[in-house]
Structure 1
Amino acid sequence: MSESNQQILDSASRALRDSQFRRSIGNRSHRLKQGHFFKKLGRAAMWTAAVLVGASVIGGILSGIGFWGVMISAGLIAGGIWASMKFPKMKVPTPETIMKSDLKSLAGKTEIWLENQRPALPAPAVQIVNGIGVQLDMLSPQLNKLNEGDAAAYEVRKLVGEHLPELINGYRAIPASMRGKATDSGKSPDEQLIGGLSLIEKEISGVTQQIAKGDIDNLSIRGRYLELKYDQSAEAE
């Protein structure tokens, strides 16, 4: 295969990978991003209307704005639309903001945070992350049964805002060259990550079922995934 053909294939592969990572892992994150987009679209429309009204007023006073007036108005509209659609960029939630999120937006913000972690994760883990997005979509309606100050609400926030980020951030702290190597525990960081994410996915499913059954008072996050600890010596090497 020629070098040029290889470059084309590499570019296509990167484009496909980027496209996959731009996809939402759940409906909740998609709605949050869609809402952010429509807000920017609304600002662009308001700016366009303001420029047109201003041009009309000036044109009425001066009996027309002339060629250059039209060009300036068009430039202002184009620049305003570009700026409105470009900025502000949607802020990626952090584990800290997820912990403080209201229950209505908790699942969506968690999904957005997870979506931004995918490029650093191995392919099998990405598939599980996508599955977690599905589970978060199912959990979200059940959260409406909880009050903001409930202990159960705190437990759910801790699961997705503390334990889940702790697992992924711990993995990302390990040098890429060592993630596939077995540690003293007999499992590689890649395997530990996949195992931990699988357990969290099941835990979210269990919480959803527990709330759906009305067993809110007894809701507790068992934290089985916390047993999956990364070999500290691997990080130190």
Structure 2
Amino acid sequence: MPDLRRLYSDAEEARHAVVLRRVSTEEQQLARRARQRRRAAQARALQRMLIATAVIVAGAIGWGLVVGPIGQFGFLAAVIALVLSWVVIVGSMRVPQVSIEALAQSDLPLLPERTATWLQAQRAALPPPAVRLVDAIGLKLETLGPQLSALDPREPAAFEVRKLLSQELPDLIQGYAKVPEGFRTQDRDGVAPDRQLTEALRIVDDELGRMSADLANGDLNKLATQGRYLELKYRDEATE
């Protein structure tokens, strides 16, 4: 008689491999978009630095022509102003940190972008399969953001989106973070916390895809009443 537990495990592994292959393609897309955003941000920063340099140099020259020579102190002041302007411009390129409290208070159209930023900050603490799914979720959040701009925040559908992005998803990641590192790869009730996290993120990824499709089709009633189930058993175990 075949070992049913082994058959189930093999089937789960096969399904898991299919998901990861799909996610790897999405991860490449996300990496390409991230590179494009970085290049665009660098180009904007360079343009601002050139403008700031031109303004300061023009101001120093104008002062010299109208008032008189700027002298050593004037030259030093111009150099300091130039360096400070560059520091401010480069500093503005840094991605701001987003807290869970900020997610809960975000306007609905801004919530996907801020959730994606928060998720990116958690990548280092996640196992590789979960990181790939986080990247896939980031792609879906990029699509979801513009769709939410036309959604009335008082709609039940808006409540479901906000609940998933600002409560359920952060709770999922934080619950995993509470599990001691030495226990994350150990099976408990047949499934390790690393695996449970990956499966729960896959459910979130699928749910975001359905939400986006429902919004695109204008089916707000379906989105508002659609049930969800996140397998977060490991979170409960971690708090025992």
| Letter in structure 1 aligned against 2:106 | S
Provide the rounded CA distance (Å) in 2 between the counterparts of 1:163 and 1:32.
Answer: 30
Alignment of 1:1-237 (within 5 A): 38=44, 48=53, 51-52=56-57, 54-66=59-71, 69-86=74-91, 89-183=94-188, 185-220=189-224, 221-225=226-230, 227-230=231-234, 232-234=236-238
For residues 76-112 of structure 1, give each alpha carbon's deviation from its aligned partner in whole angstroms, at most 9, with x where no partner exists. Answer: 3123312342258542222222232223222211111
Give the TM-score normalised by structure 2.
Answer: 0.72
C-alpha separation between the residues in 2 aligned to 1:107 and 1:67?
51
**Per-residue deviation, 1:128:** 0.7
**Alpha-carbon separation, structure 2, partners of 1:84 and 1:148:** 35
Answer whether contact 1:47 1:77 (CA < 8 A) is retained. yes
Runs of 5+ unmatched residues, structure 2: 1-28
In structure 1, C-alpha distance between the alignment counterparts of 2:236 and 2:39, rounded to whole Å? 37
Change in Cα spacing, 1:110 to 1:34, as seen in structure 2 (3 Å) is farther
Contact 1:36 1:90 in 2 (8 A): no
CA contact (8 A) 1:152 1:219 kept: yes
Which amino acid letter does the alignment assign opposite residue 55 of structure 1?
A
1:166 Cα shift?
A: 0.4
Alignment match, 2:12: none
Taking structure 1 as reference, are residues 33 and 108 closer, same or farther at Cα in structure 2, changes over 3 Å only? farther
Deviates more, 1:40-49 or 1:164-173: 40-49
Whole-angstrom distance in 2 between the partners of 1:79 and 1:231: 47
1:50 Cα deviation after fit: 5.5
Which structure shows the higher helix fraction?
A: 2
- Distance of 1:25 and 1:158 partners within structure 2: 27
Instruction: Supply the distance in 1 between the matched residues of 2:168 and 2:72 (Cα, whole angstroms).
Output: 62
Structure 1, unmatched stretches of 5+, are 1-22
User: Distance between the aligned counterparts of 1:79 and 1:72, measured in 2?
Assistant: 10
Q: What TM-score do you get using the length of structure 1 for normalisation? A: 0.73
Q: CA deviation at 1:36?
A: 11
Q: Deviations over 1:48-95 (max 9, x none)?
A: 456335423542355322456434422331233123422585422222
CA distance in 1, matches of 2:162, 2:31: 19
Decide whether the 8 Å contact of 2:127 with 2:194 is kept in 1: yes
